[in-house]
Amino acid sequence: MSSQIHSRSNRGASGATPPQGKHALAFTKADAVPFVLILFFGIAALLFCERSADFLGEDVFYADCARSFLHHGYYGINGHLETNQPPGLTAILVPVLAVFGFSHTAFLRVMALFETFGLLGTYEMLRRHGSRLVAASICVLLASSPIYFMWQPA
């Protein structure tokens, strides 16, 4: 009875036993195709990002909070501390602002870079816990989706 319980606990949600050992971790030629496609879409997002001199729309708040945090040491705008919005995005933008300056294009390129790395990491995680085909399908569909890179120019 205990051997049946042990064998069931090693199975995934689909009931199939996930790949074990070196085979699950090995990078194969089949993994190169989704990696190249994800990198292709990421590079395209980097090259074709919107170029504007200033921040537009709702981006202004986060950019101004990041500038205030970097220059004045507090999270807020015009001397007023911000209490409604969490500082997570601003905390990510502060190093970008410090390295690349106050540029909307630089922020968009960093976002594309983070999204590309996120998709590559997601592919790695999914392929280790499931099938390579499912992992590749999910990540390539997300990378090629117009919704995913919605902030890019039309």
Q: What stretches of 22-126 adopt beta strand conformation (E)?
A: 76-77, 80-81
For the chain, report the end-to-end CA distance as a whole number of angstroms.
60
Torsion, Cα of 133, 150, 46, 122 (10° steps): -30
Q: Please report, for the chain, how many H helices and E strands are present, in that order.
A: 7, 2
pLDDT band at 8 (very low <50, low <70, confident <90, very high): very low
- The yes-or-no verdict on residue 90 having pLDDT over 80 is yes
- The yes-or-no verdict on residue 149 having pLDDT over 60 is yes
- The yes-or-no verdict on residue 34 having pLDDT over 80 is yes
Output the pLDDT for position 55. Answer: 76
pLDDT, mean of residues 27-46? 91
pTM of the entire predicted model: 0.69
DSSP symbol at 134: H
pLDDT band at 9 (very low <50, low <70, confident <90, very high): very low
What is the rounded CA–CA span in Å between residue 130 and residue 65? 41
